[in-house]
Chains A and B, each alone.
Chain A
Amino acid sequence: MSGLDLTIVWAFLIAFAIFAYIVLDGFDLGVGILFPAFGKGRPRDVLMNSVAPVWDGNETWLVLGGGGLFAAFPLAYAVLMPALYAPVMAMLLGLILRGVAFEFRWRTVRAKWAWDLAFWAGSLVAALCQGVILGAVLQGVQIEGRAYAGGWWDWLTPFSLLAGVSVVAGYGLLGATWLVMKTEDDIQARARRLAWPFAAATLAGIVAVSAATPFLDADYARRWFSFPNVLATAQVPLLVTLCAAGLFLSLRAAREVLPFLFSLALFALSFAGLGVSLFPFIIPGRLSIWDAAAPYSSQLFMLVGAGVLIPIILAYTAYAYWVFRGKVGHEGYH
């Protein structure tokens, strides 16, 4: 069964694409969420410029996540999209509004406020919907045969809303710490002040979602708390605690890069925690990755391309970040 191995390979590749999307678009959506907290004019221009050269590449990981799911796990894609119809549509509309704002706000003086509003609201809605989607997947989806069998509002529960708000807080934290790293002076000081409440809210969200998850499904509890799994899984909350401490200490010490790195680590740990809860299911309790996998020929064909192209993509993405390294526009018109 050589197909077995490729299914796991593809599960990890899709997970990697989703994680890359979450942290990369996370900070630029976060910048959008924080937008109204900064003054009109120069501060907002600096915020926008800090992500303008890279946002498009960041968002491409979402296309890979969706396209990759379609290609590698078509059944999961076919079940999840109708199940998540409303939040997916709302997310897409949010991403449209904030995406075009990058270009449109420079093309008008009169209506600039409208595109600033679109940038903020679009970012917020997209982030909220992504969290809701996460929560809705975790709480499970009804299936009959090879199709979604639930209702149009099944995704909407207190748990999915909790997850939505948590993701908004987390993206806000990523955005704030990104700005601490990329800006200076008054903008940086404001970003640093904003990082505190968003960090607190993110940690509260992580704790609340983690505490609620084992009650959703007995399988989640078993994967986390059964012996000997617990020896490994217990490290996750421990590391989260350490990273949280590091985050707050580095913010207090006015460090520039460390808060962003600790925030990324918090996301990585949360993502690993989700992996522990879900694996090997792609739709909890219903569809395992093997049930949903594309045939071996499709997996293999794509793997050839992914194996060659993903390293190249990572290389030139790193190059693009390197080209735009350092602080944004701090000289102004000196």
Chain B
Amino acid sequence: MDALLLARAQFAFTVSFHIIFPAFSIGLASYLAVLEALWLKTGKEVYLNLFKYWMKIFAVAFAMGVVSGLVMSYQFGTNWSVFSDKAGPVIGPLMAYEVLSAFFLEAGFLGVMLFGLERVGRKLHFAATLAVAAGTFFSAFWILAVNSWMQTPAGFAMNDQGQYVAASWMAVIFNPSFPYRLVHMVLAAYLTTALVVGAVGAFHLLRDRQAAGARTMFAMAMGMILVTAPIQILAGDAHGLNTLEHQPNKIMAMEGHFESHPDGAPLILFGLPDQAEGRVRAELAIPKLGSLILKHDPDAPMAGLDTVPREDWPPVPIVFWSFRVMVGLGLAMLALGGFALLARLRGRLYDWPLLHRFAVLMGPMGFVAVLAGWITTEVGRQPYTIYGLLRTADSASPLDAPAVAASLAAFAVVYFAVFAAGVFYLLRLMSHPPHPGETGAEELGPIRTAGVTPGPAAHIAERHS
């Protein structure tokens, strides 16, 4: 394999692993803030128990997000040095803002949130939780500004060294696809978290329908999905229209439109896109629906990839299928929300095993949908790193295939070992039901052997007493 393909594989591998954790921690940080707020407001023990239960899970997921994200901040230079040199003056400052406004905020207050409840008191602790949640959102804001600029570059000029430089920072940050991508991704993070929380609640309800913590988290999660899933579908539709305007090639690949349709394009439900032949085999399509969805007019003409030079085509089969996976899962989430509403109306939210099984099945599907969505948008941007401006082939470092191959292999081994262990620990934490008197991270979790230090919190509490 050539070095370019290996470098792409390495970036795809590390970024795919990485996105899983922020997708979860953005939503979970907000959920923790809501739980702590409810506890402070109502004084009900169940919210504090749930807070501590999910905080332990958050700590593990967050640590994996931090270390896998650290890798990303160096991979631009190691594997994409030409891109870094050319685009650094525009996207570098946005990433610097992410570090300054988000990473430090999260990291600085995470310690207080995990270990400090006894040390700083309830109000300051809640402030720390809010700071962590705000940090996760700021992080999403800046990194999505970077990604969106690579998709729909705006507000820039070229200098005489061949670098992109900002002409207007507002135009760079609020580039045409940024608002859509930000809304779509933050909603995706909330949905992903709600699906996980709902699945854990459902799992424990299947064992014990009276479990108080499980009931509360299941009801909260189903409510969240009921509200968020339809909004997400609308946001996704708006994002698609925006993509049609600014990245038409990507839409052609998503739709499998190799040919132009002068009087209304069909919606291809399923098929086998053949990149080499430029057609979709075994196609199952609804006539004119594609134009109706994308142009709001069944007879509107739509150009296909036959209007685009071949060297500018994205890999159609990948984009075509990842898009369908994402949409299919989105509809399944909508169905789960609807099912839960029905159960609530019939008073059977906590004792309808079919609903609970469905919720458990949907638990990991948010992650799958997030990955499928990112594959759609990133592979759909190919063959460019900066859409329409800088080709991927012209972005790479002066790479030697063996060096990239060796590091890719090392990443694969370490990631599979580390993240498999992490996911195992997460699942084990989730497999215990939340119970009254839930321990916090400062008490080092239920698995710790007796006789270990109780951590800093107990000590200060004692010293100050």
Q: Which residues of A contact B (CB under 8 A)?
A: 41-42, 45-46, 49, 52-54, 56-57, 59-60, 62-64, 66-68, 70-72, 74-75, 77-82, 85-86, 88-89, 92-93, 95-97, 99-100, 102-104, 106-109, 111, 146-149, 152, 294-295, 297-298, 301-302, 305-306, 309-310, 313, 316-317, 319-320, 323-324, 326-334
Known contacts: A86-B403, A96-B418, A309-B101. The answer to whether A320 contacts B81 by CB under 8 A is: no
On whether the beta carbons of B66 and A59 are closer than 8 Å, the reply is: yes
CA distance A56 to B102 in the complex (A): 13
Q: Residues of A contacting B105 with CB < 8 Å? A: 316
Query: Which positions 398-417 of chain B face chain A at CB distance < 8 Å?
Result: 398-400, 402-403, 407, 410-411, 414-415
Q: In the complex, A52→B455 CA distance in Å?
A: 10
- State which of B163-171, B181-189, B224-232, B343-351 sits at the interface with chain A: B163-171
Contact residues of B with A, CB < 8 Å? 59-60, 63-64, 66-71, 73-74, 76-78, 81-82, 84-85, 87-90, 92-93, 95-101, 103-112, 114-116, 119-120, 159, 161, 163, 165-167, 169, 397-400, 402-403, 407, 410-411, 414-415, 418, 421-422, 425, 428-429, 444-445, 447-449, 451-456, 458-460, 462-463
CB contact under 8 A between A302 and B93, given known A74-B88, A331-B458? yes
Query: Is B397 a contact of A82 with CB atoms below 8 Å?
Result: yes
Contact present for A82 and B111 (CB under 8 Å): no
Contact A67 B96 (CB under 8 A): yes
Secondary structure at the B interface, as helix, strand, loop or mixed, is helix
Tell me if B88 and A71 are in contact (CB < 8 A): yes
Does A77 lie within 8 Å of B96, measured CB to CB? no
Q: Is the CB of B400 within 8 A of A107?
A: no
Whether B73 pairs with A331 at a CB distance below 8 angstroms is no
Min CB distance B422 to A, Å, is 6
Contact (Cβ within 8 A) A70 B92: yes
| A–B Cβ pairs within 8 angstroms, 24 of them | A54-B111, A67-B73, A68-B96, A71-B93, A74-B88, A86-B403, A89-B410, A92-B74, A104-B425, A107-B425, A148-B81, A149-B398, A295-B163, A297-B89, A297-B166, A302-B93, A302-B96, A302-B97, A320-B112, A323-B120, A324-B111, A326-B460, A329-B453, A329-B458
- Name the CB-closest residue of B to A50: B456
Main secondary structure of the interface of A (DSSP, over half): helix
Contact A63 B67 (CB under 8 A): no
Given known pairs A77-B84, A328-B456, the reply for A305 and B425 (CB within 8 Å) is: no
> B447 to chain A: which residues have CB within 8 Å?
106-109
Residues in chain A near residue B455, CB distance under 8 A: 49, 329
**Contact status B74-A88, CB under 8 Å:** yes
- Among residues of B, the one whose C-beta sits closest to the C-beta of A303 is B93
Given A86-B403, A295-B165, CB of A100 within 8 Å of CB of B418: yes
Q: Which residues of A contact B161 (CB under 8 A)?
A: 146
Partner of A301, one of B93, B398, B448, B454: B93
Measured CB to CB, the nearest residue on chain B to A96 is B67
Chain B nearest CB, measured from A307 CB (Å): 10
What residues of chain B lie closer than 8 Å to A81, measured between beta carbons?
A: 74, 76-78, 81, 84, 397
Across the interface, which residues of B come within 8 angstroms of A334, CB to CB? 462
For A106, list chain B residues within 8 Å (CB).
Answer: 444-445, 447-448
Minimum CB distance partner of A82 in chain B:
B397
Cβ–Cβ contact B453 & A332, under 8 A: yes
Cβ–Cβ contact B63 & A306, under 8 A: no
Task: Say whether, besides A53-B112, A70-B88, A71-B93, A82 and B70 are in contact (CB < 8 Å).
Answer: no
B454 CB contacts on chain A under 8 angstroms? 329, 331-333
The smallest C-beta distance from A311 to any residue of chain B, in angstroms, reads 11
- Give the docked Cα–Cα distance between A93 and B397 (Å): 20
Is B81 a contact of A147 with CB atoms below 8 Å? yes
Chain A residues within an 8 Å CB radius of B103: 60, 63-64
Also in contact, A100 and B63, with CB within 8 A (given A81-B78, A295-B159): yes
* Residues in chain B near residue A295, CB distance under 8 A: 89, 159, 163, 165-166
Q: Do the beta carbons of A85 and B92 come within 8 Å of each other?
A: no
- List chain B residues, Cβ under 8 A from A100: 63-64, 67, 418, 421-422
Interchain CB contact under 8 A, A41 and B99: no
Instruction: Select B107's contact among A52, A60, A148, A333, beta carbons within 8 Å.
Output: A60
Most chain A CB within a 10 A radius of its CB, from B100, B112, B169, B397:
B100
B84 contact set on A, CB distance < 8 A: 70, 74, 77-78, 81
Are A324 and B115 touching (Cβ within 8 A)? yes
Partner of B100, one of A64, A80, A146: A64
Q: How far is the CB of A308 from chain B (nearest CB, A)?
A: 9
CB of B88 within 8 A of CB of A148, answer no
Q: Which of B60, B71, B93, B120 contacts A96 (CB 8 A)?
A: B71
Evaluate contact between B64 and A317: CB separation under 8 angstroms.
no
Q: Are A305 and B107 in touch, CB under 8 angstroms?
A: no
Contact of A85 with B78 at beta-carbon distance under 8 Å, contacts A109-B447, A326-B460, A329-B453 already known: yes
CA distance A57 to B60 in the complex (A): 16
Establish whether residues A316 and B70, one from each chain, have CB atoms under 8 Å apart when the complex forms. no
Judge whether A71 and B96 touch: CB under 8 Å.
yes
Contacts of A80 in B (CB 8 A): 77
Nearest CB of chain B from residue A303's CB, rounded to whole Å: 10
Q: Contact partner of B88 among A62, A97, A294, A297, CB < 8 A?
A: A294
Tell me the minimal C-beta distance from A115 to chain B in angstroms: 8
Distance A297 CA – B64 CA, assembled complex (angstroms): 35
Q: Report the bound CA distance from A85 to B75 in whole Å.
A: 10
Write the nearest CB–CB distance from A107 to chain B, whole angstroms: 4
CA distance A313 to B69 in the complex (A): 20
Cβ of A53 and Cβ of B169 under 8 Å apart? Answer: no
Write out the residue numbers on chain B whose beta carbons fall within 8 Å of the beta carbon of A97: 414, 418
Known contacts: A109-B449, A331-B459. The answer to whether A93 contacts B81 by CB under 8 A is no
* Contact assessment for A66 and B73 in the assembled complex, using a CB-CB cutoff below 8 Å: yes
A316/B166 in contact, CB under 8 A: no
Which of B67, B70, B106, B453 interacts with A49 by CB under 8 Å?
B453
With A45-B452, A297-B166, A317-B108 as contacts: A92 and B88 at CB distance below 8 Å:
no
